[in-house]
Structure 1
Amino acid sequence: MDELQDVLKQHAMIMKATTALFYGILVSIAMNFFWEPGHIYSSGITGLAQLIGTLTKNCPVHLSTALMLFVLNIPLFVLGWRQIGHRFTLFTILAVFCSSVMIKAINPVPLTKDPIICAIFGATINGFGTGLALKNGISTGGLDILGLTIRKHTGKSIGTINLIFNFFIILAAGEVFGWPYAFYSALSIFINARVMDMVYTKQQKMQVMIVTTKPKSVIDCIQNRMRRGITIVHGAEGAYKHDEKTILFTVISRYEQPELRRAMIESDPAAFVSIADNVHIMGRFYEPEP
């Protein structure tokens, strides 16, 4: 059993390292093939690194986007190491390092300079890479670490900080390249966020209602697979056969939906299960440590 757990841990680490490398390749393609040729800025720390790279392009010391992407993340690595976890931070460092190296190593290929095409395709590629990295339990650095730290201590997100930071990036794009490019960058940031949400589903909450005649079996099976609280409503009655049933309520993330399906097949395949998407949560919702 211990040997199996060691093999699974090694497999998980290899998967995370491979994902970090794959993310680095995707972000470099987005940057070198689309964003840079189209004068489009990304969101967060990546956008700030682009801005510094643009402003120092004609200076005696040019601070490249690849270099600044890693340098600007160093304080956040320290924060992640102290507040989140060592393994999580090591894989984050690997992901950011791969990104910086790949942006420098892969030669830019300007497929088009159309800013709308560059905004859409660059954001789609980067959003997919970021979502994939988060789905596999690694961060891509930047404001992710700050957000995880704040959420860990307060249970709140940093939506306002993200909004202000990205608004600054959009204004910078307008000042440097002209105001139409501010709108193109805003479009890119929006698409990047939407694609990332489509791939990374852990933050999407779903309310589950289960009508069952085997409540104990269902509860035990769900809680063995997922750390989720369940509310029990006794004394329900089926309108067709008038048999006694129990209603169970819980909230899961979309990422856990396959586990819920397996738990229901194992515990009560005849149960009626209703799932509502995009519910809003007030209070703390357990999320596993990264």
Structure 2
Amino acid sequence: MYHVYKYAVLFAASIILGFAFNMFLLPHEVLSGGVTGLAMILGLVSPLNSGIWLVVLNIPVFLIGLMRLGKEFIWNSVLSVFITSMSMQYIPILQVAADPLLSAVFGGIITGVGIGLIVRLNGSTGGADIIGLVVTQKHDIPLGALIFGINSTVVFISGFVFSWNLALLTMASIYITGVVIDRIHTRHIKLSLMVVTTKGEELKNELIGNLIRGITVMNGYGAYTNNENKVLYTVITRYELALVKHLIKNTDPKAFVSISETSEVFGNFRKS
């Protein structure tokens, strides 16, 4: 059932991207960034559609992703790029809004939603997404901010190809896209989890069996009740929080749980 949900969301998010490109960004020559932005530039200055360029330019980037991020990720990414490319072939290029600034803002928001959903489901739209995800495996950098930095190079290209007014609109659009991505893709956010429970062994086994995380177990006792407890401490990503809550409630509904955001983690912590 999960796979049906995942592919349905990937399909819908990829269509959303094609809609954002053809209805908001391309009509005003407001570009996306990175490989997608280059594909949009080439589509505007050559006979080939931007969707075709999107596939061609992503081939070498996908090879990098295959080596670093795995086969499932690449399959999801190829599927997403293919659906986006096909949607751009059939969705007409029309101006939804006459104001370029409004188009840049809403195009950036819609693009961010599409990319955020795709990345959250272990996929990408190719290009800077893959490069950004490879980097975030080793460094706790917000993905949207990293993609914005990579994509900013397209601003200078668009400035020379079109105009600097359009370049600034592009910068605004990809900045908004990056902000929206970071609202959806929250893997870089780390949470400290402390659980006080009378079922320490059972809960420890459940967490270890479902998470790739180390857990520190300490002895404790209630100051009021004097009952012996186990205190479990670990650090998780925000992505894992829903699963952890489910495991704790099923194992010990009466457990005391404290969750706080952690600004930085270093040492033996699995980031991917």
2:254 aligned partner: 270
Q: Is the 8 A contact 1:37 1:113 kept in 2?
A: no
Q: Cα gap change, 1:174/1:246 in structure 2, threshold over 3 Å: closer, same or farther?
A: same
- Among 26, 39, 42, the alignment partner of 1:36 is 26
Aligned pairs for 1:4-19 (under 5 A) are: 12=3, 14-19=4-9
Q: What's the C-alpha RMSD, in Å, of the aligned pairs? A: 2.7
Contact preservation (8 Å) 1:16, 1:138 = no
1:198–1:163 Cα change, 3 Å? closer
Q: Select 1:188's aligned residue among 146, 149, 173.
A: 173
The CA deviation at 1:74 is 0.9
The residue matched to 2:254 in structure 1 has which SS?
Answer: coil
Whether 1:141 aligns to 2:126 is yes
Say which SS state the counterpart of residue 277 (structure 1) adopts: strand
Measure how far apart 1:157 and its partner are: 6.6
1:286 counterpart = 2:262: no
SS at match of 1:274: strand
**In structure 2, how many angstroms separate the alpha carbons of the residues matched to 1:283 and 1:176?**
46
| Unmatched runs of 5 consecutive residues or more in structure 1 | 1-7
For normalisation by structure 2, the TM-score amounts to 0.85
In structure 1, what is the Cα distance between the partners aligned to 2:65 and 2:41?
Answer: 24
Alignment of 1:113-152 (within 5 A): 113-149=98-134
Q: Is the 8 A contact 1:221 1:266 kept in 2?
A: no
CA distance in 1, matches of 2:83, 2:187: 24
Unaligned runs of 5+ in 2: none
- Asked if residue 258 in structure 1 is aligned to residue 242 in structure 2, the reply is yes
Q: Aligned pair count?
A: 270
Residues 284 and 27 (structure 1 numbering): CA distance in 2 closer, same or farther, change over 3 Å? farther
Partners of 2:104 and 2:56 lie apart in 1 by 25
Q: Name the aligned partner's letter for residue 210 of structure 1.
A: V
d(CA) in 1 for partners of 2:69, 2:34: 20
The residue aligned with 2:60 is: 75
The answer to which of 16-25 and 114-123 deviates more is 16-25
Secondary structure of the residue aligned to 1:138 is coil
Counterparts of 1:275 and 1:102, CA distance in 2: 42
Task: Tell me if structure 2 keeps the 8 A contact 1:139–1:145.
Answer: yes
CA distance in 2, matches of 1:240, 1:199: 42
Give me the TM-score of the superposition, normalised by structure 1: 0.81
Partners of 1:17 and 1:94 within 8 A in 2 = no
CA–CA separation in structure 1 for the residues paired with 2:104 and 2:218: 50
Tell me the percent identity.
33
The structure 1 residue matched to 2:70, chosen from 85, 88, 106, is: 85
CA distance in 1, matches of 2:162, 2:258: 50
Quote the offset at 1:208 in angstroms: 0.9
